[in-house]
């Protein structure tokens, strides 16, 4: 009987913890708070070179929501500020995601001649390493554009290899968390990013 009671008690504790988690994510602004902490200040700094990191994509090569959002914010940055070059970094199976995002920028009116792509990178760490030589040859301020939840790790990964950047976080999780239906997918993205931050710390990459 005691073992049954212990099992039942454990089940109750688990369900209580799950209930608390559901309440926290669904009702409280925990996503927005965490995203702001990872993003830092939501600013749109001026610069000369805009570095855009790719997000996800679907199996047919179309850009997924986070990549599309970064693309739109890159278009806005080019049209509102004085960048002379845009570099999109991210590879993968053909077509590379950077190429797909470049198409979005061009369709939205960014001159093709100012958009470069780097397609060998498969991670944030790769992008920092592969862009180091390219960016060292380019004078002026470099602005790094990526999603709010990704900015903490991305900026530190670039600085770790010696690339000074200004942060231009895209309000991704912040926007999605306005709707309660999108809060759980956003929370899962935050959880995955937390594990990646831990791994990058462990490897000494940030």
Residue-by-residue DSSP string for 43-85: -----SEEEEE---B-TTS-B-HHHHHHHHHHHHHHHHS--SE
CATH superfamily of 35-203: HUPs (3.40.50.620)
Question: Residue 175 to residues 122, 178, 179: CA-CA distances in angstroms?
Answer: 26, 6, 8
Give the per-residue pLDDT at 46: 93
> Tens digit of pLDDT for each residue in 160-202?
999 999 999 999 999 998 777 788 889 899 999 999 999 999 9
Tokens read off for 38 = 């990872």
pLDDT at residue 62 in the model = 76
> How many residues in the chain?
206
For residues 67 and 97, give the distance between their C-alpha atoms in angstroms, rounded to a whole number: 8
Q: Is the pLDDT of residue 28 over 60?
A: no
pLDDT-derived band at 77 (thresholds 50, 70, 90) equals very high
pTM of the model: 0.84
Beta strands in 107-204 (DSSP E): 115-118, 142-147, 166-170
Cα gap 90→97, rounded to integer Å: 6
In the chain, what are the domain boundaries?
A: 35-203
């Amino acid at each position: 009987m005691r073992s049954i009671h212990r099992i039942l008690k454990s089940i109750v504790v688990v369900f209580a913890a799950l209930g608390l988690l559901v309440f926290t994510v669904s009702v409280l602004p925990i996503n927005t708070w965490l995203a702001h902490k990872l993003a830092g200040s939501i600013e749109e700094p001026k610069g000369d070179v805009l570095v855009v990191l790719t997000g996800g994509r679907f199996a047919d090569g179309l850009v997924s929501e986070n990549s599309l959002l970064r693309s739109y914010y890159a278009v806005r940055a080019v049209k509102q500020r004085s960048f002379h070059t845009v570099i999109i970094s991210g590879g993968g199976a053909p077509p590379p995601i950077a190429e797909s995002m470049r198409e979005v920028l061009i369709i939205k009116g960014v001159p093709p001649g100012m958009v470069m792509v780097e397609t060998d990178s498969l991670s944030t760490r790769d992008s920092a390493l592969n862009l180091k030589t390219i960016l060292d040859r380019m004078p002026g301020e470099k602005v790094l554009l990526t999603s709010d939840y990704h900015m903490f790790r991305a900026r530190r990964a670039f600085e770790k290899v010696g690339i000074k950047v200004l942060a231009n976080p895209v309000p991704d999780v912040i926007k999605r968390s306005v709707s309660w239906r999108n809060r759980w997918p956003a929370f899962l993205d935050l959880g995955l990013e937390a594990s990646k931050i831990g791994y990058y710390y462990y490897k000494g990459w940030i």
